[in-house]
Amino acid sequence: MTELSEAQLRRVAEARQQHGSERAAARALGMNRDTFRYQVKRAAEKGLLGFKPVLPGFELKRSSAQLDADGNVQKEWVKQHKEAGPKFEMPAGQVMKGVSAFVDGEGRIRHQWIKTRNDTITPDLVTALTNVFARYEGRARLVQAPRRVERNQLNVFPIADPHNGLLAWKPQTGADYDLKIGRERLLDKASDIMALAPRSREALIANLGDWYHANDQRNVTPKSKHQLDVDGRWFKVLEAGVEVFMRIIDMGLARHEVVEVINIPGNHDPEATCALALALKMFYARNKRVKIAFPADIYYRRFGVSLLGCAHGDKLPPPRMAMAMAVDQRRAWGETAYHWFLYGHIHKESANTIGDVRVESFSTIADKDHHAFAGGWRNAQALNVITLDKRAGEISRQRVNIPPPEMRAA
């Protein structure tokens, strides 16, 4: 914008003082209100509006006064500075690089500087995944549907925190673990639990988050920036995770007429989960027996007299799960008898009842990384299937255990 002359600024300042309001002064000068407001702020910066009260575009920084013996104000000092700008919003296509801070002697923040850079990871991730799986779109192998199923039953397969790509070294963590071991274990135990599941008409395969150990090739948790030990190149891990999930879906199709898949973003893999869901959706695009749900942070599903919800557990703590379900699903809540919320994140099994809602977490099947081992986190490892009936709610559970490292076959 062209620099304004002092004469122009004086004209604006005089009009504001004369008319008393920005609207009236702008109308008298034939200006639109935004232009007038901009010029008034520039006039205030040059001191053309005086110093009291607080000027347009400024805010009060400090005020002090000198009083006489009777408490009357003799002199007054007011320090103003330019007001803060608008709330910072991350520019499109940028990610946070770092934050610098200026602190006082007590360590309190006085100013902060936010550093950003171009986000090259997420666009490349989605583009690479789309290019690789585009040639497979709609070409999923047709698995023959089972002949006889229980039409009023739903099998729920929770898979919590498999952390595909996690790398662990036995001398440091008590057990070796890598992409190959994780892939074989997940497929082996998924096959076992599918074999134990009743032949229900519907299946719900619930990825409760952290399907991948790392979100991208930086190998850190996106929010906390904790360093992660990852096996192999990122795209190798990404592709292996998609291939394993497709194998599990095909297992489900062999025993169920309809398979629904949900992918909850975890704190380790928020963007990678979206890419996973995209790949699966493209691959099964023409298979009417497979439903790939949108990868939302919270998922709800009604089945007869049961209402269930799913979340990862990092954003929505268990005490709030029941309240979220009651508010988000008001009608379904009132029309159902059994309420159930599933989550992962804590890598162990737990169950609590909040009101009439069973809030339940599920264990990981992955071994411990260095961080978990050093922190003393220990838990049993298993896969489960829970069967719901449309009229009776939960009617059965089956479980496949993973033995501890010292009891596994060599």
Residue 22 is predicted with a pLDDT of 83
Structure tokens at 11: 């004209």
pLDDT at 289 over 90: yes
- The whole-angstrom separation of Cα 375 and Cα 14 is 69
Residue 378 is predicted with a pLDDT of 86
User: Which comes out higher in pLDDT, residue 207 or 73?
Assistant: 207
Q: In percent, how much of the chain has pLDDT > 70?
A: 77
Residue 180 is predicted with a pLDDT of 96
Q: In percent, how much of the chain has pLDDT > 90?
A: 57
- The whole-angstrom separation of Cα 123 and Cα 265 is 17
Q: Is 267 in contact with 209 (CB distance < 8 Å)?
A: yes
Helix (H), strand (E) at residue 248: helix 234-255
pLDDT at 212 over 50: yes
At residue 229 the predicted structure's pLDDT band, cuts being 50, 70 and 90, is: very high
Tell me the average pLDDT across 79-87: 61
User: Which comes out higher in pLDDT, residue 60 or 383?
Assistant: 383
At residue 20 the predicted structure's pLDDT band, cuts being 50, 70 and 90, is: confident
At residue 379 the predicted structure's pLDDT band, cuts being 50, 70 and 90, is: confident
- The whole-angstrom separation of Cα 299 and Cα 316 is 12
Please choose, from the candidates 374, 381, 359, 371, the residue with its C-alpha nearest in 3D space to the C-alpha of residue 313.
Answer: 359
**Residue 11 DSSP symbol:** H
Tell me the average pLDDT across 42-54: 67
Instruction: Identify the weakest region by mean pLDDT among 37-46, 261-270, 350-359.
Output: 37-46
- Which of 27-31, 218-222, 260-264, 370-374 holds the top average pLDDT? 260-264
Q: Is 353 in contact with 338 (CB distance < 8 Å)?
A: no
Q: What does the radius of gyration of the chain's CA atoms come to, in whole angstroms? A: 30
Helix axes 179-196, 234-255, angle to 10 degrees: 10
pLDDT at 66 over 80: no
At residue 10 the predicted structure's pLDDT band, cuts being 50, 70 and 90, is: confident
- pLDDT tens across 292-351, in order? 999 999 999 999 999 999 999 999 999 999 999 999 999 999 999 999 999 999 999 999
Pairing of β 290-292 and β 299-303: unpaired
Residue 72 is predicted with a pLDDT of 74
Contacts of 180 (CB under 8 A, 6+ apart): none
Domains of the chain: residue spans and CATH: 6-82 (no CATH), 90-119 (no CATH), 125-407 (3.60.21.10)
Q: What's the sign of the alpha-carbon dihedral 85, 88, 94, 97?
A: positive
- Residue 85 phi/psi, 5-degree rounding, is -75, -170
DSSP secondary structure string for all residues of 272-332: HHHHHHHHHHHHTTT-TTEEE----SSEEEEETTEEEEE--SSSS-HHHHHHHHHHHTHHH
- The whole-angstrom separation of Cα 118 and Cα 305 is 49
pLDDT at 395 over 90: yes
pLDDT at 79 over 60: yes
- pLDDT tens across 126-139, in order? 665 665 556 555 55
Opening angle at CA 306, ends 391 and 210, nearest 5: 140
- The whole-angstrom separation of Cα 129 and Cα 112 is 37
In the beta sheet, which residues pair with residue 168? 177
Residue 179 is predicted with a pLDDT of 96
At residue 391 the predicted structure's pLDDT band, cuts being 50, 70 and 90, is: very high
pLDDT at 269 over 90: yes
- Residue 374 phi/psi, 5-degree rounding, is -65, -30
Distance (Å) of CA 400 to CA 88, 297, 358, 359, 385: 49, 27, 22, 21, 9
Instruction: Please tell me the total number of residues recorded for the chain in this structure.
Output: 410
Q: Report the C-alpha dihedral over residues 323, 324, 327, 330, rounded to 10 degrees.
A: -100
User: Which comes out higher in pLDDT, residue 107 or 245?
Assistant: 245
Tell me the average pLDDT across 261-269: 97
pLDDT at 59 over 60: no
Helix (H), strand (E) at residue 339: strand 338-343
Tell me the average pLDDT across 203-221: 96
Residue 128 is predicted with a pLDDT of 59
At residue 39 the predicted structure's pLDDT band, cuts being 50, 70 and 90, is: confident
In the beta sheet, which residues pair with residue 164? 212
Tell me the average pLDDT across 112-122: 63
pLDDT at 140 over 60: no
Residue 60 is predicted with a pLDDT of 47
Average pLDDT of every residue of the chain: 85
Instruction: Identify the weakest region by mean pLDDT among 192-196, 233-237, 274-278.
Output: 233-237
